[in-house]
């Protein structure tokens, strides 16, 4: 469970993670990536929202339609 082990790895930041999660700042987790990385059970156990409109990946169009500008690196 990558998400659970990542949570333990980020222990120094656990208070920040909890605040971010409690404030609803995590829009969604990529379903395809979570599945591929074996993190899906951990994501579901934490109650994080999953998105997968584009063959399992979140659609950037919905963010653009909401007025966000998508920046890629």
Q: What is the pLDDT of residues 20-70, one digit of tens each?
A: 989 999 999 999 999 999 999 989 998 999 999 999 999 999 999 999 998
Specify the pLDDT at position 12: 75
Q: Are 46 and 2 in contact (CB under 8 A)?
A: no
Domain residue spans of the chain: 2-65
Specify the pLDDT at position 1: 42
Q: Whose structure tokens read 């409690």? A: 22
pTM over 0.75: no
Residue 10: phi and psi, rounded to 5, are -90, 20
H-helix segments, 23-60: 31-36, 40-45
Specify the pLDDT at position 72: 85
Specify the pLDDT at position 73: 85
Nearest to 51 by CA among 71, 70, 73, 35: 35
């Amino acid at each position: 469970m990558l998400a659970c082990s990542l949570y333990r790895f980020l222990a120094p930041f656990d208070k920040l993670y909890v605040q971010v999660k409690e404030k609803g700042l995590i829009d969604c987790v990529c379903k395809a990536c979570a599945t591929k990385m074996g993190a899906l059970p951990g994501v579901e156990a934490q109650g994080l929202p999953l998105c997968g409109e584009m063959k399992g990946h979140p659609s950037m169009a919905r963010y653009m339609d909401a007025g966000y500008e998508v920046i890629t690196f």
